[in-house]
Amino acid sequence: MTQQEGARNTSIRREIAIGATWMLAFKLTERLLSLVSTVILARMLLPADFGIVAMAMSLATILELLTLFSFDIALIQRREVKREHLDTAWTFNIVFSVLVFVLMIGLAEAAADFYREPSIKAVIYVLAAAWLIQGFENIGIVDFRREMQFEKEYRFQAIKKLAGVLVTVPLAIALRSYWALVIGIVASRGISVLLSYQMHSFRPRLSLAGTRDLFGFSGWLLLNNILSFFNQRASDFVVGRLAGAQALGLYNISFEISNMPTTEIAAPINRAMLPGYTKIARENGQLGQTYLETVGAMAMFTVPAGLGIAAIADPLVRVLLGANWIDAIPLIQILGICGAVASIGNNTGSALIALGAPTAVTVLWIVRLTVLLPALVVATQEWGITGAAWAVFAISVIITPVNFAVILPRLRIPVRQILAQLWRPLTASASMYYLVAETIGQLNTLGFHFAFVQLVIAMLVGAIAYAAIIALLWLLVGCPVGTESMVRDLVRSWLLRRRRVGPS
């Protein structure tokens, strides 16, 4: 790589870091708004109101699988995007939204019969309008990610989320009915469309001129999205069928809590990584160093998050969920570690798509699903939902090195380099897990059984232990440039700013 290319890659990596920060900020904003709206709505509406909307949304979610061509990703990945590509993507988005609209209208009565809930028929009719409206969103906003303008992407996503909350909550107060949720969804989609045209000057036209260029890549993305859906929902089908509704509810809540720290960190970073990887691949194809740095940064934060949630599972469940959910503790312990393992390699898909290899992603999803389904069935039949959790954990342990085996040769990265990125966060996280578990055990031995106190002490011990151990390991190997040095520089920068604005 030339000096100029190296400088350019450094500049792009800086843009990726800024983008990941914006996407993390959006995720936090979204979570905060969701929490506030959920608390308010839960007091205004009945559980049955949420259930009716969930039933209607399930039909839309299944039908949407037919339309997940991910034209936005195809446009981000392309080296050259012409007007005809944008117009074609917009045209097909409209076509597919009309398709979902027609199918929802046609299947509304069948869905009502299936759920034995006549009221969802009218709800589906109205929700169908939301999917129809969404298809007209301005395709030009894909430039926010393609050109790595993540501040604009943050504003678009945050305003859209806020608008939905501001519509739904007053309606819930006024109507005290599930119609507040339904109208809120439709209004949110409409506001999203209007906002997309207000924030971007591109004005799409109906056209099919770029069909050949887009569908060669997007066809694989559709298949990947479908396979991803079944990989993620396989446990729903298997556990629900073999263990029943109560077991499935317990498993799903455990999975959501245990994987929330890792997914909340990984998802927004991956959203920023794809355009960043693609930009580097388009300019010089030298993705190796950026991928290594990303894996190291992800592991630095997601691995301790996953192991940390596993270590504090007992007091966490007792404080947040109560005595009726004690059976969730072993599930959260298993699935928390599983989430930590899975997070290490989940950036592989973004790198492969940036390299123009969606077929490799397809193969990885097929392999995972082929192994996961029989493992889930056998484990659930033999050991119930605990067996299902262990099956998912085992598959993550198997698939993570397979991901690396697929991507590392393409990027010409030796295995020792990926291990060099991972050993410090893995060692520090494992040590933290042991110390937190021992702390909780000692508190129980000493008679401190109050779960809230245990939770607070365990979290403090975990945070201090991880920070201290990772810093010590970094010092022992000579302070190499990496995530630790980036954190150090950010802390120094923050302290300097504090001094400048502080009293003289």
Which range is least confidently modeled, 27-41, 90-104, 155-169, 451-465? 27-41
Residue 379, in any domain of the structure: yes
Q: 418 and 404 in contact (C-beta within 8 Å)?
A: yes
pLDDT computed for residue 386 by the predictor: 94
Residue 21, in any domain of the structure: yes
Q: 321 and 249 in contact (C-beta within 8 Å)?
A: no
Q: How confident is the model at residue 337 (pLDDT cuts 50, 70, 90)?
A: very high
Q: How far is 457 from 453, CA to CA, in rounded Å? A: 6
Domains: count for the chain: 2
Q: How far is 73 from 225, CA to CA, in rounded Å? A: 12
Of 189, 209, 229, which residue is a domain's last?
A: 209
Same domain (yes/no): 225, 251: yes
Let me know if 48 is exposed, middle or buried by CB neighbors in 10 A (0-12, 13-18, 19+): exposed
pLDDT computed for residue 358 by the predictor: 83
Does 315 or 349 have the greater pLDDT score? 315
Q: How far is 476 from 474, CA to CA, in rounded Å? A: 5
Same domain (yes/no): 2, 85: yes
CA angle 72, 350, 86 (to 5 degrees): 15
Same domain (yes/no): 72, 148: yes
DSSP state of 65: G
pLDDT computed for residue 482 by the predictor: 73
Percent of the chain with pLDDT over 70: 83
pLDDT computed for residue 115 by the predictor: 76
pLDDT computed for residue 39 by the predictor: 61
pLDDT computed for residue 443 by the predictor: 93
Which two three-digit tokens encode residue 387?
A: 């067996």
Residue 497, in any domain of the structure: no
- List CB contacts of 428: < 8 A, sequence separation 6 or more: 304, 466, 469, 470, 473
Mean pLDDT computed over every residue of the chain: 83
Same domain (yes/no): 200, 225: no
Residue 101, in any domain of the structure: yes
Mean pLDDT of 327-337: 93
pLDDT computed for residue 465 by the predictor: 96
Q: How confident is the model at residue 101 (pLDDT cuts 50, 70, 90)?
A: very high
Q: How far is 226 from 143, CA to CA, in rounded Å? A: 25
Same domain (yes/no): 287, 347: yes
Does 336 or 48 have the greater pLDDT score? 336
Which range is least confidently modeled, 42-46, 222-226, 233-237, 287-291? 42-46
Does 444 or 78 have the greater pLDDT score? 444
DSSP state of 482: S
Q: 93 and 133 in contact (C-beta within 8 Å)?
A: no
Same domain (yes/no): 176, 233: no
CA angle 196, 160, 119 (to 5 degrees): 110
| Domain range enclosing 26 | 1-209
- The string of pLDDT tens digits covering residues 303-327 is 999 999 999 999 988 887 778 888 8
- The string of pLDDT tens digits covering residues 383-421 is 999 999 999 999 999 999 999 999 999 988 999 999 998
Q: How confident is the model at residue 193 (pLDDT cuts 50, 70, 90)?
A: very high
Which range is least confidently modeled, 39-53, 239-253, 325-339, 347-361? 39-53
Of 209, 241, 265, which residue is a domain's last?
A: 209
Mean pLDDT of 272-297: 75
Same domain (yes/no): 185, 230: no
- The string of pLDDT tens digits covering residues 360-377 is 988 999 999 999 999 999
Same domain (yes/no): 352, 282: yes
Residue 76, in any domain of the structure: yes
Q: How confident is the model at residue 259 (pLDDT cuts 50, 70, 90)?
A: confident
Same domain (yes/no): 196, 231: no
Phi-psi region of 322 (alpha: psi -120 to 50; beta: other; left: phi over 0): left
Q: 484 and 474 in contact (C-beta within 8 Å)?
A: yes
Does 378 or 181 have the greater pLDDT score? 378
Q: How confident is the model at residue 350 (pLDDT cuts 50, 70, 90)?
A: confident
pLDDT computed for residue 226 by the predictor: 80
Percent of the chain with pLDDT over 90: 35
pLDDT computed for residue 433 by the predictor: 97
Same domain (yes/no): 303, 337: yes
Same domain (yes/no): 289, 248: yes
Q: How confident is the model at residue 504 (pLDDT cuts 50, 70, 90)?
A: very low
What pTM did the predictor assign?
0.73
Same domain (yes/no): 184, 44: yes
pLDDT computed for residue 285 by the predictor: 59
